[in-house]
């Protein structure tokens, strides 16, 4: 497997505009964001869509253990922490400065019993243990929007091996990037084509879901009903994603199958 770089040396910057605090890695590209008045909400569209796995596994108390590769501003970790109280969260982040800033400026909770931040390379972490996870979310990029070791076939194969039977893998891909199709092909190879690539957000981020265990077989009507409950209970609005999904994803007999 391709090796992770050593601890990044790039700047980690913060900006604020119109009530939104943003995280940057030495460039204008936004690595994370928080609306100051709503610190627990998912401000960026792609982070909301990474939580669409809750529609694919709509049973209660799923997931019980989530693994996040890449911390950023801590948006996904905070959302899970607040809204899925039965879920333990492990985050692997290569840059210790990012953890410090997430806690200091983005209200990342300090609760090691439920939220464990591991400083290290996500690719190395996947190969170094055998603990299994129900929800594995990969969202790690350098300042030049490159995922490096987190976008290789061995990494995706390792992710599959660390999923529980009900486990889902979710990756944030850059749909407008020339390497996008190669990323999709590697995920398909690792998961025997059991992959659903959701339509791109306005930002260009594209979310892919995959599983190697129990099949995903959920009807659009079930997804709509659960999306309505999620919006009522958590404020998470997946309605725009549902609309695009119906136009772009093959849905035999109105079901999403993975």
Q: Which residues contact 17 (CB under 8 A, 6 or more apart)?
A: none
Q: Is 127 helix (H, G, I), strand (E, B) or coil?
A: helix
CB 222 within 8 A of CB 72: no
Reported as type and span, the H/E element at residue 14 is strand 13-17
Residue 7: half-sphere exposure toward Cβ, Cα within 13 Å: 8
Q: How many helical (H) and strand (E) elements, i.e. helices and strands, does the chain have?
A: 9, 12
Which residues does 114 contact at the CB level (< 8 Å), separation at least 6?
Answer: 81, 87, 88, 89
- Number of Cβ within 10 Å of residue 116's Cβ equals 13
First to last CA, the chain: 26
Which member of 28, 116, 124, 139 is catalytic?
Answer: 139
Distances (CA, A) of 7 to 90, 94, 96, 101: 19, 6, 8, 16
Phi, psi of 96, deg, nearest 5: -60, -25
In sequence order, what are the residues at sequence separation of 6 or more whose Cβ sits closer than 8 angstroms to the Cβ of residue 253? none
Known catalytic residue at 202? no
Question: Which DSSP symbol is given to 246?
Answer: H
Place of tokens 């910057």: 13
Q: Which residues are catalytic?
A: 139
């Amino acid at each position: 497997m391709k090796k992770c770089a050593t601890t990044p040396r790039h700047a980690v910057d913060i900006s604020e505009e119109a009530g939104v605090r943003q995280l940057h890695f030495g460039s204008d590209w936004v690595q994370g964001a928080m609306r100051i008045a709503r610190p627990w909400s998912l401000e960026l569209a792609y982070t909301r869509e990474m939580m669409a796995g809750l529609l694919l596994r709509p049973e209660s108390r799923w997931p019980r253990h989530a693994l996040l590769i890449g911390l950023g501003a801590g948006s996904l970790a905070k959302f899970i922490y607040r809204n899925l109280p039965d879920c333990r969260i492990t985050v692997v982040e290569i840059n210790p400065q990012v953890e410090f800033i997430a806690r200091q400026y983005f209200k990342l909770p300090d609760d090691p019993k439920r939220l464990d931040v591991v400083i290290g390379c996500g690719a190395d972490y996947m190969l170094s243990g055998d603990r299994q996870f129900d929800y594995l979310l990969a969202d790690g990029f350098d300042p030049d929007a490159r995922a490096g070791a987190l976008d290789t076939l061995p990494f995706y194969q390792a992710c599959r091996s660390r999923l529980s039977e009900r486990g889902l893998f979710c990756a944030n891909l850059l749909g407008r990037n020339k390497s996008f199709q190669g990323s999709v092909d590697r995920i398909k190879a690792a998961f025997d084509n059991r992959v659903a690539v959701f339509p791109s957000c306005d930002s260009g981020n594209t979310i892919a879901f995959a599983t190697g265990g129990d099949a995903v077989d959920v009807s659009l009507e079930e997804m709509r009903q659960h999306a309505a409950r999620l919006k009522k209970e958590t404020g998470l609005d997946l309605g725009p994603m549902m609309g695009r999904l119906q136009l772009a994803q093959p849905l035999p007999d109105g079901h999403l199958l993975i």
